[in-house]
Chain A
């Protein structure tokens, strides 16, 4: 492998296998997963539920350990969690006893930065997601979309190199989801952070990503990788683009085939 090429690879997933040992024997959640994600790239993973896409994200995040195989960040093997990999969860995972600003400050506080500096960082990202008026609210006072914005701000506040997003908009209604997709696109175009985004929504995947990874189930493996050659900036109108529709029909069909496989 050429030296220059290796530099461009931000995240390398190499031969990752994950087995769960349960009472009814061993389940293989992932088998032989290989994927290179380039610096600043936006990659979406789609697949039927149970195909191991969340497991893969958890392994990259360092929350789970692979049975065999390794993930590399900038060529260094990943061991455990690290602040250079920020995670946004589907269920927001905000700390309910902390206000919005305290939630967003959490990462910088863990770096033991001075409190004033943490607040400054937090305010910057709260502003980015447009929740300045709510910095002293508790999560219970916010809607689902606002909660997820806080979670995204919290991930950004830690200034990660890679953003791992586990179906972040899955629990939101269609309008809120569309709005947050647009906001995420804008942020990504500005900050160009490497994004690894999991979704079961094919539209969402094509709209956001430069490459869509289709996974098959049982055991979870990469079935196909589709390049999305629709130029940025993209927005909701991109969904009417003929290329978008063509890709959607193609990818949707493959995902549906996999879904039928799982049903068997």
Chain B
């Protein structure tokens, strides 16, 4: 709603520009922070409307039920929230880190050696399209229940996403830069550390961003493997009792974690790749 108003207001002022005595209408600029606030309020309004509906209200109780009541319930009465958070974070961080440290070297090997690429790439693309939930039981059969299968699942998913992204990035490095370094006397080591690596950093950051997303979205599948605690495991446990309010709280918590991680990646990106040419306006 707000956006539409903004557009209709803008157009007349732009058309009015050629006429010399410009009317008082000043172009009304809304700062990003205000936009964020507006967006938040709109979401709250939608949520509120959903909570008022007879059927939608069952699934989407408003903030009072979801947070003000459910938070003490899960955090203090049942004493599971912190355990769930810790457990999920351990699985996600371990899985992600394993994914990262394996994806980087494999991506380089794929970019450099044709046989590696030809053999691995089709299978990464094949497995990437299968939902993790589908093969989760196979992992449990292999390693038993607990955190291990969850970590392995997140590892697999983050690995594939990051590997493909980094590999694509390395392949896209401007070959002229390598040539330029060569004719200036760089040897293979120099080229790797001074050209390939810095040129790959932006792609590694994109890979981290996508990998974190993949890790979080796999959380549910990962914790369906008989985990003792965890955000995903709790959501599925609550489903049995139709406790929609705490479920919704957990779902929103996952969303908040994802957003915070994204902000962190944005921050790192600004520090490391300020040299990149950016398209104006995002």
Which residues of A are at the interface with B, using a C-beta cutoff of 8 A?
61-63, 81-83, 85-87, 89, 91, 93-98, 106-107, 110-111, 138-140, 154, 158
Contact = CB atoms under 8 A, between A and B. Distances in A.
B184 A107 contact: yes
B180 A97 contact: no
B276 A63 contact: no
B277 interface: yes
Interface of B: 174, 176-177, 179-187, 190, 194-195, 198-199, 201, 273-277
Given A93-B176, A95-B195, A97-B198, A106 B277 contact: no
Nearest to A87: B183
A87 B180 contact: yes
Which 10 residue pairs spanning A and B have beta carbons closest together?
A110-B185, A93-B180, A107-B184, A93-B176, A83-B185, A87-B183, A140-B277, A97-B198, A97-B275, A138-B275
Contacts of A86: 183-184
A89 B276 contact: no
27 contacts: A61-B179, A61-B183, A63-B179, A63-B183, A81-B182, A81-B185, A82-B185, A83-B183, A83-B185, A87-B180, A89-B179, A89-B180, A93-B174, A93-B177, A93-B180, A95-B180, A95-B181, A95-B194, A96-B275, A97-B198, A107-B184, A138-B274, A138-B275, A140-B275, A140-B276, A140-B277, A158-B184
Given A63-B182, A83-B185, 12 more contacts: A61-B179, A63-B183, A81-B183, A87-B180, A91-B174, A94-B180, A97-B198, A106-B186, A107-B184, A110-B184, A110-B187, A110-B190
B56 to A, nearest CB: 49
Contacts, number: 66
Nearest to A91: B176
Nearest to B201: A97
Q: Which of A62, A85, A140 has the most CB of B within 10 A?
A: A140
Contact of B183 (A85, A95, A96, A139): A85
Nearest to A151: B180
A91 B176 CA distance: 8
Contacts of A91: 174, 176
A87 B179 contact: yes
A82 B199 CA distance: 23
Contacts of B176: 89, 91, 93
A137 to B, nearest CB: 10
Nearest to B199: A97
A93 B198 contact: no
Contacts of A96: 275-277
Contact of B184 (A83, A97, A139, A140): A83
Contacts of A110: 184-187, 190
